[in-house]
Chain A
Amino acid sequence: MNTFPGAAWILAGVFALSGMLTVGGALLAVTSQRVIRSVSGLALGSVGLAGLYYFLHSPFLALMEILIYIGAVCVTIVFAVMLAEPDEPPPEKPRPRARLETAVALLVSLAAGGALAWLGLHTRWPVARARTGDGSLRSLGVELLSTYCLAFELISLVLLLAILGALVLARHGRTPPPAS
């Protein structure tokens, strides 16, 4: 691989691109007025995040990020938006205390983010003895179904609840439920 001219520069460029996509996509998702553009920003951010995962030597995680976050989550959000309202809603009147609320929200998120960053930088993390696994699919699967089995199964409980909720909502079809 070292025969490639300027390989280091290309790698640095791709890394910077992934980082910018992640941050830019996230900003787009938050700041955009239209819901569809926000979802596009989320998808873009997921692509960037997938790139970062790839740089962490985890192609499996990178591809799962694309498969789940773009192929499932974003598509579901857009689908919901489409079923609800094809046209975008008219811009509502700005609420009276919108500025104040934004400032408080910004303050809280800055404080939380700063605290987490400080914690991350100043804690003496226990250094891993060696690589915890070889990162292969096999070791990942074994870990998921042995060490982290409980968390894995609990996540599926969330999905079960979602299915039950959908069943409850869709149970009566288009006719309103009988008044009882």
Chain B
Amino acid sequence: MTLPEPYRLAAFVLGALAFVGLNAAYLVWVERKGAARFQRRPGPTEVGPEGLLQPIADAIKLLSKQVIVPPGADALLFRLAPAVVMAPALMTFAVLPFGAHLTARPMSVGLLLAVAFGSINVMAILLGGWASRNKYAIISAARVVSQNVAYEIPLLLVVITLLMITGTLDLSEIVRQQAGGFWRWNVFKLWVNPLMPVTFVIFFICLLAETNRAPFDMAEAESELVAGAFTEYAGMGFGVFFMAEYANIVVGCALATALFLGGWQSPFGIGSGVGWFLLKLYLLIFTVVWIRWTFPRTQFYGLLNLSWKILIPISLGTLGLTSVLLKFIRP
């Protein structure tokens, strides 16, 4: 079934917007419920059954609040920053392969697009933090940059390792190569490189750091920096940053699913479809929430040491090992 191009495009744009909005709203609910359960309390219960209408109440509250630009702030950049943090995350949805035929714009360089637009995120948080004219916000912004620069390196090294195995940047093609059972997923391709599970773990750690999630949430270290780069944002300005954080988590977990866990492929080789993609996606997102409420925040130099002294050497090692194995073992 193929719609004419304009309608297909409109459907995908609307679908991506609705998907991001729904996810942002209900992942907050999942986060709060999850946090509550991990801490043995009920979580939101008042609004709707099981607190299911809580996100809607939150959204109405945020929308009705005034957006205040603090005096002395750079008003233009201050207002622009939430849009700049949201737009790249939305654009990445154009290349995510949800199903065999469910990609808005299959591109031969899809993975590169996701990585490139992902790198704009840092710039936006930086601008927001700087434009706020707030000491806490500037400290947080400086932390975000050193963190993101440090973790982009192992992330890209791991992605290069994977690219040498797949030989393509097309996300749909990468998923197609993993057809036929869970032992053909990239994370279990032990005959190509016995360290594949390690690369997946590195990818996941870098994902947590790049999306500024606990235990790496140096950007919004609420116990030490008030709310970090978002301190001065009120109302929907803060809301958009919040939505962008969840949109980035969805994008990151979708990439992990497509790259390592076989995307829409079924683990048993039959019955592949969008359902499997969503199942793996939400399992990964749940893991992200789980980690956030289980581990305390790391110290800042601990975080940088982890990247520069542990993750980068290991990912360089897997890169070397993979290239050697690919050269000598496979014809």
Q: Given A36-B130, A40-B127, A82-B138 in contact, is the A75-B112 Cβ separation under 8 Å?
A: no
Q: Is A1 an interface residue (CB 8 A)?
A: yes
Cα separation A71 to B152 with both chains bound (whole Å)? 10
Q: Given A3-B6, A36-B130, A71-B120 in contact, is the A79-B74 Cβ separation under 8 Å?
A: no
User: A78–B123 contact, CB under 8 A?
Assistant: yes
Q: Is A66 an interface residue (CB 8 A)?
A: yes
Cα separation A137 to B107 with both chains bound (whole Å)? 13
User: B107–A59 contact, CB under 8 A?
Assistant: yes
Cα separation A83 to B112 with both chains bound (whole Å)? 30
Q: Is A64 an interface residue (CB 8 A)?
A: yes
Number of interface residues of B (CB under 8 A): 31
User: A66–B116 contact, CB under 8 A?
Assistant: yes
Interface code B123-146, partner A: CB below 8 Å = 1, 0 otherwise?
100110011000100100110011
User: A63–B120 contact, CB under 8 A?
Assistant: no
User: A79–B119 contact, CB under 8 A?
Assistant: no
Q: Is A52 an interface residue (CB 8 A)?
A: no
User: B5–A4 contact, CB under 8 A?
Assistant: yes
* Secondary structure dominating the interface of A: helix
Within 8 A of B (CB), among A63-121: 63-64, 66-67, 70-72, 74-76, 78-79, 82-83, 86
Interface code A47-63, partner B: CB below 8 Å = 1, 0 otherwise?
00000000000011001
User: A40–B126 contact, CB under 8 A?
Assistant: no
B229 CB to closest chain A CB (Å) equals 12
Cα separation A91 to B74 with both chains bound (whole Å)? 16
Q: How large is the interface on A (under 10, 10 to 19, 20 to 34, 35 or more residues)?
A: 20 to 34
Cα separation A60 to B113 with both chains bound (whole Å)? 9
In the complex, which residues of chain B have a beta carbon less than 8 angstroms from the beta carbon of A60? 109, 112
Q: Is B122 an interface residue (CB 8 A)?
A: yes
In the complex, which residues of chain A have a beta carbon less than 8 angstroms from the beta carbon of B145? 75, 78-79, 82
Within 8 A of A (CB), among B300-324: none
A62 CB to closest chain B CB (Å) equals 9
Q: Is B117 an interface residue (CB 8 A)?
A: yes
Q: Is B115 an interface residue (CB 8 A)?
A: yes
A90 CB to closest chain B CB (Å) equals 14
Interface code A6-17, partner B: CB below 8 Å = 1, 0 otherwise?
000000000000
Interface contacts (Cβ under 8 Å), in number, total 81
User: B116–A71 contact, CB under 8 A?
Assistant: yes
Q: Is A34 an interface residue (CB 8 A)?
A: yes
Known: A37-B74, A75-B126, A82-B126. 15 other contacts (CB 8 A): A3-B4, A34-B74, A37-B77, A40-B77, A43-B123, A59-B109, A63-B116, A66-B120, A67-B112, A75-B123, A75-B148, A78-B123, A78-B130, A82-B138, A82-B142
In the complex, which residues of chain A have a beta carbon less than 8 angstroms from the beta carbon of B120? 66, 70-71
Interface code B2-15, partner A: CB below 8 Å = 1, 0 otherwise?
00111000000000
User: A74–B123 contact, CB under 8 A?
Assistant: yes
Cα separation A66 to B130 with both chains bound (whole Å)? 21
Q: Which residue of A lies closest to B115 (CB)?
A: A67
Q: Which residue of A lies closest to B146 (CB)?
A: A79
User: B122–A71 contact, CB under 8 A?
Assistant: yes
Q: Is A126 an interface residue (CB 8 A)?
A: no
Cα separation A71 to B126 with both chains bound (whole Å)? 12
